[in-house]
Each structure stands twice: as structure tokens, then as C-alpha cells.
Amino acid sequence: MVAKAIFYHAGCPVCVAAEHTVANAIDRSKYQVEIVHLGTDKSRVAEAEAAGVKSVPALVMDGAAFHINFGAGIEVLK
């Protein structure tokens, strides 16, 4: 079964690097990866916060939030 992984970002350089490398390296036979730009899709900030996202870029997988380096705090995206 393919699980879902969500990569939240805000278009920042740190986010782009993480997307191109880490998110892109995820095995698509194990995870369906959705890329969400919280800067342009503010309606999903609450969902990201509920999943434990405190900054972007972050990857939510298997019910946990994994912050990858630090691009921006989620507070500035509201």
C-alpha cells in the first residue's frame, strides 16, 4: 500500500533545496508525495500546524512532522 507524504514549503531557497533533494528522493512505490506551497495556499496552514509543522520546509509522513533545515516559521505564513 502506498502511504501519503506531504511536503510543506513556502518557496524559499531552503525549501527549494529540500524539495529537489529530500522530497524528490522519496520512494514513490512507498509514498505518494504531495507538495503544498503554504505561501500561496494559506488555507492549508491550519492543517500543517495540526500535523505538528512549526516551520518550513517540513515533511509529514507516518503521522509525524519532520522539519528539514529552517526556511521560515509557520507563524509568518498565516
User: Applying CB under 8 A, which residues contact its own copies?
Assistant: 5, 17-18, 21-22, 25-31, 59, 61-62, 64-69
Mapping DSSP to helix (H, G, I), strand (E, B) and coil, where does residue 35 land?
strand
- 31: which residues sit within 8 A by CB, 6+ positions away? 2, 3, 4, 5, 61
Q: Cβ 32 to its own copies, closest distance in Å?
A: 12
Residue closer to its own copies, measured from CB, 24 or 42:
24
Q: Cβ 60 to its own copies, closest distance in Å?
A: 10
Residue closer to its own copies, measured from CB, 26 or 39:
26
Name the nearest CA neighbour of 49 among 65, 33, 35. Answer: 65
